[in-house]
Every structure is written in structure tokens, then in C-alpha cells.
Structure 1
């Protein structure tokens, strides 16, 4: 019987909320360089209920008064994808959240930095 690491070259061992937060904090300087003032983890990883098919849901607050452009999203997103190979990343801002879900997301989100 083969272990799960033989499935694909992008396999990532299961991670806990604390594992994800530690890896995100290591990326803080790189993410802040693109105007992200605060980063929050929400969803199954924030609740520490993630399974093998879970994505990592992130909410970013950009520097006040900054009009974030596509590069402000793309550069941090690419860094996140590299840091979490094989795991889908959901990356949004507050005003881009689905309005009906926004209060629940904001109340359950865990601040990373």
C-alpha cells in the first residue's frame, strides 16, 4: 500500500489552523509590501475543522485610503499559492464578500496579522 505522498507532486500534508497561521505570518512582509494592512483566516481552517479537500479562505484589509489594483491582489495571491502548494486559496477583501455571508465571516475570522 502506498502512502498519500505518492498521489501527486503537489501533495501537502494535512495542516492545522496553527500550521496555516505560522506559514501566513512568515509571508507577512511580502504580503504587506503590496498594501495589505491586515490578514484574516476564516472558514474551516479558522475553525480547525479542515479536511483534505478544504481550501484556505483569507480576507485582506488594504491600507486605508489605498485603491488596490489587480497587482495588489495578484502578487500576494501568487505568494500564497507557492506557500500552500496543492491547496486552493480563497483571497478577498471585505467589500468583495457576498453580503449575506459577510457578518458571519467577519465574526468568525481569526486575525493573522
Structure 2
């Protein structure tokens, strides 16, 4: 069996351990709703705010049968050369507009592009 503690740096390992601390050993037996609640709580507690100069606007995009909320992140000094489209994983089970809010804000800050 691979000994990951020898392959992963201390900061990343601490992140993995903190993430794991939110999930009870029997999480696999929880309902989807219960698993979502755990994941959403974890994401809220990891949130550290937006980097300086980044703002966000939540808007609705019309679809044939409903609307889809999206969030647009802008840097105070935007780079118009490109735009980043971020679609989080989660298999339509975990995560949503708020779960990766800080990730998108950080992408905006580091690239200068709208996200």
C-alpha cells in the first residue's frame, strides 16, 4: 500500500486531514441530503473571503424551463485577454454556487481574468 504521508507535503496533508475531519466514518450510509449538508458546512468553514480587488455578481441565465444562477467574478484591474469558465465537479450530487466561491475568486485574482 502506498504511504501517502511520505509523498504529500505537510500543508497539503493538513488540508486532507481537515477535510476528512468533517466526514464521519459511516458517511457512505448517509442520504444524499445529509452528505450535501456536511459538504456545504465544510465549504463554508473553509471560506476565507475574497482576495483584495475581487468582486462578484450573481445573476440568473434564462433556460427553457427555469433559470440558472451563475456568479461572475471580476478583478479591479481586469485582463480582457480571456475569460475562465469554472464548472465544479460533484456529479450533480455535491457542491453548488457557494461551495467553490472562494476558489473562483482566487482564480480571478491570480489570473486577472473574469471567472
Q: TM-score range by the shorter chain?
A: under 0.3
Question: What TM-score do you get using the length of structure 1 for normalisation?
Answer: 0.28
Return the TM-score normalized by structure 2: 0.28
Structure ID, larger Rg: 2
Higher relative contact order (CA 8 A, sep 6+): 1
